[in-house]
Structure 1
Amino acid sequence: MTLGGLLINRRTKRQYRLDGCRRSRKNPLLNLARPFLSLITNSQLPNIIDLRSFLSPIEEQYTAGSCVGNALASILEYFYFYTTGQIKIFSRLFIYYNARMMEDKISQRNATEIDSGADIQYAIISLIEYGCCEEQYWPFYEHFINIQPNYKAYKNGQLYCLNEFSRLSNNINQLRQCLVQGYPFIMAIKIFSSFGSNHHGYISMPKKYEKSSQYRHAIVCVGYIHSKRVFIIRNSHGIDWGDHGYGYLPYEYVTDKILTKDLWAIKSIKNMRIISNEEHIRWNDFSILSKSWSQQDMIDDQSQCDIEYSNDEQEESELTNEHRQYQRCYSQEFERERSASPMQLEENHFIQPSFINHHSTAHIPSQITFMNAPLIGPFPYHSSMFHSTPFFRPF
């Protein structure tokens, strides 16, 4: 296993893989992507959208570079739950391997030989060609990472091929419109040391002395809170990360085209219900961010996290001079900040306002019959993994 970067929390001893989302040498021609058409004007956008209650339990990728597979599998699980009301786990490793295999055919990177991360665009191509099998056909075992799935897995995957998808921009209103219409989307973000801090899921904008990951990490955006100017994101680092596996990413993080790239919305899957043009989601306004933290907690948490790289990895070449302040540097200015008083630190750090817990309920469309079903695959089901969600009703 090749580890290009790990985020290590020295206090909790947790290790988070950071380089699972890579840009290939040759980009595929995704000319099948349809432009995203919004059915809602900016003035009609609600304050809050939260799709968490319609998602499967949070998963843990450990030190595997499978974040792209995790993210796309969770979107398929969202569509399956939206279609049937039942939980079904899809194979992360099936997507992860096939994404690397598609890249091998074009860029000759020999990506399937090592656990080197995957390109989101090649993963989307693999979903068009091979679909994604259920977890029981190709489970998440470490020794399966670099092994091609078997015939039964590919046969089952043909039931769930990708039909339609759209490329998104970094425009906030377009992303909000996408979520309002019921489409979670995948994106690739650069990671900084504060990503591993226990800030109840809130991810702050990087400071100029922070060390960034060399590559990117794939996450799924599943909602937003406009009054707080944050997107709700789903991670794949287990329920102990952030707010029970979810986090809150500032708008400014997403609009920065250096920090955030490759935003894609999955719009329809074979044999799964299509979210029609007349049907999107109406929500009540509830404050749903988790409880606040103290300034000292933020400082203590950041001091416990560090990023470690392997010797043969290099920084992304696309960083511009404008964004080099995000890289960690032991300059005189950084040393002054380290030795600053708490009052001075308060002036230099962003302090998130206090949030309150949410106590909202979800209402499912009446025309669909929902039944409880056992979870397929080796993962236990815990009801506490699901967050209650604001009012849901299609037009």
Structure 2
Amino acid sequence: MAKKSIASYLIERSSVKKQSIASYLVERSSGKKLRINGCLPSQKKPPKSKHYTASRFSASELPIRVDLRHYLTKVEDQGQVASCTANAIAGAYEYLAKRAMGDAGDVSRLFIYYNARKFDGIEGDAGSSITTSIRVLQEMGACTEGTWPYDPQLWDEQPYTEAYDEATRFLIEEAEEIDVHLFAMKHCLAEGYPFAFGLRLFKSFDKAGHKGGVPMPDLNHEDGREEHGNHAMLCVGYSDPYKVFVVRNSWGENWGDKGYCYIPYDYMTNPEYCRQCWTIRGVSDLDFSAGVWAEDDEDFYTYDEEEEEEYEYYYEEEEYEYEEEEESEDVENSYEEEEEEEEEEGYEEGEEEEEEEEEDEEEEEEGYEEDEEEEEEEEENEEEDYEEGEEEEEDEEEEE
């Protein structure tokens, strides 16, 4: 019996509804929900990766400010999907494309998010790791958002075949892991490369919603949101006078300073809070340092913590349903029936092969017997010829 195609099995799959928990920050004034628990711990490093070496500049050679925002695409909103890692990595890729080609479209964040979860076997809208998102770009690439758009309702839908075909044109070559250390982080930015990272959030992070300024967490009065996990963002600059990193978030342009925030050095260089710092590189090692250095902080940003208006947020958990595909009993039975039929077919084929081997042996025996008969005939002919030769010699002797 011929095997069924994979497509026919997919048709016969059934979906089982499952439940999970999503956590949000909810803005009191608007009711807008900000997803905050999407950055999962890395299971393993990307296949093409190495440790970042900060060797091009000395500490004294680094500029007092670096700002890559001019080369970044519009800040996007992840909505209520736990796709912060995909948003951060997509932003980094779009930056590389814009620096290399002068322009860049939007990379499909849902393409990255879907395949990263599948690589790690993550069920539900539970987030993904930065390293696995990088692996997607290395092994699959990523299609454009025009091909596979960011529709929150499609977070668990597999992209079309055309999306995978297109994605192979947009692969990245390698990724480098950066130490959670001030000099290494600044050095990477000074070379003209942003880096993605995961950050443990505190209650004080809520204040960034107004103008983007993130206070240094006060551990005497607040706890880190351990139950929320980490939130992935993209670091795109720094300022020595303000001692802050410039960070691109994925909560839309109405949050923070047009979608960006400013996180203190001491916060981001604490390995207890900041994890998974990775920068991605293109096929060729291009020099992106030109045009991103500055020796002053004029018009950088205005942040006064005393005047900072605290946006009021509250924490909320919400159950959600998602569909997990499972094979129906009919499909499982069909697998078993096919296996049994294949075993029977294999047994019958084995018997036929044995019969053929026996026939071959019989033919070989017959051929052997024929060869023996031919040899006996040849020997008899040789003896007759020999006897005839002797008789002829005797006749000749008698005549003499």
Alignment TM-score > 0.5, same fold: yes
- Is residue 30 of structure 2 the alignment partner of residue 12 of structure 1? yes
Instruction: Give the aligned residue type for 1:229.
Output: K
Is the alpha carbon distance of 1:294 and 1:51 closer, same or farther for their aligned partners in structure 2, counting shifts above 3 Å? Answer: closer
Per-residue CA distance 1:205-253 (angstroms, 9 max, x = gap):
2233335332111000000001111000000001111101000000011
Q: 2 CA distance for matches of 1:261 and 1:306?
A: 25
Q: 2 CA distance for matches of 1:2 and 1:290?
A: 40
Aligned to 2:66: 49
Query: 2:84–2:233: 8 Å Cα contact kept in structure 1?
Result: yes
Q: 1 CA distance for matches of 2:274 and 2:21?
A: 22
TM-score (norm. length: structure 1)? 0.70
Offset of residue 8 of structure 1: 1.6
Is the alpha carbon distance of 1:75 and 1:238 closer, same or farther for their aligned partners in structure 2, counting shifts above 3 Å? Answer: same
Task: Report SS of the residue matched to 1:261.
Answer: strand
Q: 2 CA distance for matches of 1:132 and 1:64?
A: 18
1:1-395 aligned at under 5 Å gives the runs: 2-23=20-41, 27-30=43-46, 32-38=48-54, 39-104=56-121, 111=122, 113-197=123-207, 198-208=209-219, 209-213=221-225, 214=227, 215-268=229-282, 270=283, 274-276=285-287, 281-293=292-304, 295=306, 297-298=308-309, 300-301=310-311, 304-309=312-317
Q: 2 CA distance for matches of 1:58 and 1:293?
A: 24
Query: 2:46–2:132: 8 Å Cα contact kept in structure 1?
Result: no
Query: 2:38–2:83: 8 Å Cα contact kept in structure 1?
Result: yes
Percentage of pairs with the same residue: 30
Is the alpha carbon distance of 1:277 and 1:230 closer, same or farther for their aligned partners in structure 2, counting shifts above 3 Å? Answer: closer
Task: Report SS of the residue matched to 2:276.
Answer: strand
Query: 1:239–1:245: 8 Å Cα contact kept in structure 2?
Result: yes
Aligned to 2:383: none
Per-residue CA distance 1:257-305 (angstroms, 9 max, x = gap):
111100001121x5xx64149978543423344223462644x43xx22
Q: 2 CA distance for matches of 1:154 and 1:203?
A: 39
Q: Which has the higher strand share?
A: 2
Q: 2 CA distance for matches of 1:310 and 1:121?
A: 27
Query: 2:67–2:293: 8 Å Cα contact kept in structure 1?
Result: no
Give the structure with higher Rg (CA). Answer: 2
Offset of residue 2 of structure 1: 4.3
Aligned to 1:315: none
Per-residue CA distance 1:337-387 (angstroms, 9 max, x = gap):
xxxxxxxxxxxxxxxxxxxxxxxxxxxxxxxxxxxxxxxxxxxxxxxxxxx
Offset of residue 13 of structure 1: 2.2
Bigger drift between 52-61 and 286-295 goes to 286-295
TM-score (norm. length: structure 2)? 0.69
Q: 1 CA distance for matches of 2:140 and 2:196?
A: 19
Per-residue CA distance 1:21-69 (angstroms, 9 max, x = gap):
1125xx2244631222331111100000000010000101111101111
Is the alpha carbon distance of 1:137 and 1:78 closer, same or farther for their aligned partners in structure 2, counting shifts above 3 Å? Answer: same
Offset of residue 3 of structure 1: 4.3
Per-residue CA distance 1:126-166 (angstroms, 9 max, x = gap):
11110111111110012221011111111111111120110
Q: 2 CA distance for matches of 1:307 and 1:56?
A: 30
Is the alpha carbon distance of 1:294 and 1:75 closer, same or farther for their aligned partners in structure 2, counting shifts above 3 Å? Answer: closer
Aligned to 1:387: none
Offset of residue 15 of structure 1: 1.5
Instruction: Give the aligned residue type for 2:178.
Output: L
Instruction: Give the aligned residue type for 2:317.
Output: Y
Offset of residue 195 of structure 1: 2.2
Bigger drift between 31-40 and 148-157 goes to 31-40
Instruction: Give the aligned residue type for 2:27.
Output: N
Aligned to 2:372: none
Aligned residues: 297
Aligned to 2:347: none
Query: 2:78–2:84: 8 Å Cα contact kept in structure 1?
Result: yes
Offset of residue 4 of structure 1: 3.2
Per-residue CA distance 1:82-110 (angstroms, 9 max, x = gap):
11211311000011011111102xxxxxx
Is the alpha carbon distance of 1:125 and 1:12 closer, same or farther for their aligned partners in structure 2, counting shifts above 3 Å? Answer: same
Q: 2 CA distance for matches of 1:287 and 1:210?
A: 33
Bigger drift between 241-250 and 36-45 goes to 36-45
Instruction: Give the aligned residue type for 1:171.
Output: H
Is the alpha carbon distance of 1:151 and 1:200 closer, same or farther for their aligned partners in structure 2, counting shifts above 3 Å? Answer: same
Instruction: Give the aligned residue type for 1:165.
Output: A
CA-atom RMSD, angstroms? Answer: 2.3
Offset of residue 114 of structure 1: 1.3
Mark the runs of 5 or more structure 2 residues left unpaired by the alignment: 1-18, 321-400
Task: Report SS of the residue matched to 1:196.
Answer: helix
Query: 2:189–2:237: 8 Å Cα contact kept in structure 1?
Result: yes
